[in-house]
Structure 1
């Protein structure tokens, strides 16, 4: 998600730089066609930048709360930059002294064919829409690629977890086997201890009997 947001931010920075360079033109020293072309391109790029901001807003909503505030502040700054660019474009589009509403000299403004101007505007809108669609397709392809990469990472993690589970199960079975061997060994040792105690008692009894017999024999010999 952060990678896609940074990609949008990078595209926005490029558009901002392009718009600022177009607005920096000294329109008083260029032809009316150059002025119209620069403002049309600047307006189209501003709309594309607005689309990027909308996409970034969607991405920010999906961020975890731990980083959302930082990206929200960055997005707020980008919105402010976009609003300033849009104000600058509108200011450049206002008719100046000796210019008509379209930015043409008054004589050209009156001679301009309204139907031709409408066709040009429609053509520009179509070109702008096609360009926005192509960029949206590219972003969609990039999002799809990121989703596929994430899916591959998730599949690898699942495989690792499966292998670790098998290892844990094998270790558990080994521990169960070791417990069984320990139980058998404990029972064997307890049996051996009881046998040793029994033999010790028997040996003690035999010794006592032998001592008594020896004393009895000595008593009978002496008395």
Structure 2
């Protein structure tokens, strides 16, 4: 398993590229060339994949916070490119939805009412309502995607704040250990000085005792000899 700080980012980016490739195939293939229900089904799949791609971009924005500062510029450029692609396909999807709605509306208008079909105007209204509902559904999906992105961004911000607090606690603990280490070094130096002075005092005391003994011996010698 790759434990590098960019592994998750690369994984999300790879998933994003796969989703974008699928969206491109649908918008340039089924959603463009098919007609009727097949085209609508392709567009519904595109909307779902756009939501997934949006989620991948949000995850990439979260993961970039943990990437080393020296590597961030290139990854920020990659996120910017991903966002540009996502916005382009969202716009293309919206335009395709609008084209489908216009095609449905024009098809309804082409079916003009006759004496044999007195309910033609009702059919027009039905098609127009269907197109309007389709556009509203697309707008709702876009709003849901934006809401999910905002919620994900808020969650990422909370995680970053939590990590920042933990990092500050670790930093404070490290500073405390450094101060304790400095205090121990100072105490050790003080003890070494005390031990050195104790040995010096012992030497001086021994010398004084030796001198006293020598003086006593000299005094005794003079007294005994005389």
Same structural fold, with TM-score higher than 0.5 when normalized by the shorter chain? yes
CA distance in 2, matches of 1:51, 1:30: 28
Q: Is the 8 A contact 1:50 1:82 kept in 2?
A: yes
Cα deviations across residues 89-142 of structure 1 (Å, max 9, x unaligned)?
A: 5886796xxxx7734495246565434422431233123312431343234324
Aligned counterparts of 1:109 and 1:11: Cα–Cα separation in 2: 43
Which of 173, 187, 190 is 1:159 aligned to? 173
Q: Distance in 2 between matches of 1:51 and 1:18?
A: 16
- Tell me the TM-score normalised to structure 2 length: 0.56
> Does 2:48 align with 1:34?
no
CA contact (8 A) 1:27 1:35 kept: yes
1:138 to 152, 167, 178: 152
Kindly indicate whether the alpha-carbon contact (under 8 Å) linking 1:12 and 1:49 is maintained by their aligned counterparts in 2. Answer: yes
2:194 to 172, 175, 180: 180
- Contiguous gaps of at least 5 residues in structure 2: 112-123
**SS at 1:66 equivalent:** coil
- Equivalent in the alignment of 1:16: 20
Distance in 2 between the 1:58 and 1:89 partners?
26
Unaligned runs of 5+ residues in structure 1 are 214-223
Report the RMSD for the aligned CA atoms in angstroms. Answer: 5.1
Secondary structure of the residue that 2:102 maps to in structure 1?
coil
Give the alignment of 1:39-78 within 5 angstroms. Answer: 39=43, 42=46, 46=50, 49=53, 65-75=69-79, 77-78=81-82
Paired with 1:184 and 1:87, the residues of 2 have a C-alpha distance of: 87
Higher alpha-carbon Rg: 1
Indicate conservation of the 8 Å contact 2:101/2:132, yes or no. no
Over 3 Å counting, the alpha-carbon distance change for 1:160 and 1:189 in structure 2 is same
**In 2 relative to 1, CA 73–197 (structure 1 residues): closer, same or farther, beyond 3 Å?**
farther
| Secondary structure at 2:71 match in 1 | helix
Aligned length: 207
Tell me the equivalent position of 1:102.
102
